[in-house]
Amino acid sequence: MKINKKIKDFIQEDTLERFLKYVKIWSTSEEDAPKFPSTENQIEFGKIIVNDLRELGINDIIHDKHGYIYANVPASEGFEDKRAIGLIAHLDTSPAVKGKDVVPVIHENYDGKPIKFKKDKELILKIQDSPELENYIGMDIISAQGDTLLGADDKAGIAEILAVCTAWQKFPEIQHGPVVVCFFPDEELGIGTKEIDLEKIPSICYTIDGGQLGELEYECFDAWKATIVFNGLSVHPGYAKNLMINAVNIACRFFSNLPEAESPRHTEDREGFYHLYKLKGNEEKATAVLIIRDYEEVNNKKRMEYLMKLKNIFEYQYEGLEIEISYEHQYENMINYLQKEEKIVDIAKKAIENANLELKIHSIRGGTDGAKLSAKGIPTPNIFTGGLLFHSRKEYIPKIALLKASEVILNLIDLWSNES
């Protein structure tokens, strides 16, 4: 399929318009919320998307009580018997950084100099922060104002999928097989597939989520969460000699024994890590939560064994101290499933190359809904959205990425639709 200039110009305008609209809508998820989805604003965002889909004449839509959206995009005439393909993006943005009152800013004709932010004069985005910026000198860059994240993760994915649906409606010459569009809640919490109805999605899917221009991802971390509870003893500090067991103080000492070289700040590529991201408590009791990541499960098991050794040492050192450690396996490395699915991966590779992009095979230093779907028997690689520095106030996306990701999706469905 040849995507001519007229179609490209339309897609670029439509994707940009949708993206700028969606990032302004608050849809942050909330960790440890007692409900699913974790926030009502994801449901409200979903209602807007459902309305946008209906405006395109797509009426076979389910928006269920859990916030999932399933929309069946009818095939072009003569393509009804082709294999259905699923396109997935997530509704929520990360709770790590404020996602309310996002105001997108387009930095036109980026000149390579540091980008400054209106709402935080001390915040600066420079090439040292993201070397990829150098590739976009002379192009338009989109960021927020410095007091919020941007939300390209994953509002860009949603906008790109909707722009493709719009192109199918506006340009009937772009013929395609059946497509199921799916939008999930709470992906950022690692529970995006918690209430998924697998019967409503095809047996082959692709997430459109994260990754720089040209990236295809079919490997991710093996992921564990550890919850560690320190049970101490509170005594009046004036009379505490040989009696007090200060739980929160001991917890700090405990985590100072984790190897600094195995922290996110000091790891890259295929290196795993421990990441302590929550610690609260007092003398009587302290609770910590950390995540453990590696591409190989055996390496994570070694990290968990090390935590158990620390537990034994600290309980011996502080008589009366009790440490409880529990683990949750959050998701597997999806390469365990996708390395057997050569055709699914090869078609995605070709779709990227057909968009005149350099193909970049990248192992995700994180996870996607695709990891859990792949483990459930639905192979789901990830295709880039084009954004960078996600989950931060320096997050940005080059405008060209919005067009190119949409173009790749068009190529992807075209390739599947013309499979014999």
- Helix 342-353 vs helix 399-417: angle between axes, to the nearest 10 degrees? 130
CB atoms within 10 A of CB 78: 9
Q: What 3-state class would DSSP assign to 373? A: helix
Q: How far apart are CA 207 and CA 205, in angstroms?
A: 7
Taking the CA atoms of residue 355, residue 360, residue 361 and residue 366 in that order, the dihedral angle to the nearest 10 degrees is -100
The whole-angstrom distance between residue 26's C-alpha and the CA centroid of its chain comes to 16
List the catalytic residue out of 14, 52, 92, 262. Answer: 92
Assess whether 154 carries a catalytic annotation. no
Burial 94-125 (b: 16+ CB within 10 A, else e): bbebbbeebbbbebeebeeeebebeeeeebeb
First and final CA of the chain: distance in angstroms?
Answer: 15
Which two structure tokens, joined as six digits, stand for 17?
């318009």
Residue type, 235: V
Unique residue bearing structure tokens 């097989």: 177
Peptide bond into 154 cis (omega under 30): yes
Spatial distance between the Cα atoms of 92 and 42, rounded to a whole number of angstroms = 6
- Other CB atoms within a 10 A radius of the CB of residue 239 amount to 8
Q: Is the peptide bond before 37 cis (omega within 30 degrees of 0)?
A: yes
92 is known as an active-site residue: yes
b/e per residue 50-65 (b: at least 16 CB within 10 A): bebbeeeebeebebee
d(CA 244, CA 14): 64
CB 143 within 8 A of CB 125: yes
Q: Per the residue annotation, which of 186, 187, 262, 414 is the catalytic one?
A: 187
Contact 153, 395 (CB under 8 A): yes
Distance CA 85, CA 25 (A): 28
* 37 token code pair: 């989805």
Please name the residue ranges forming H helices in 136-224.
Answer: 152-170
CA distance 327 to 304: 9
Residues acting as catalytic residues: 92, 187
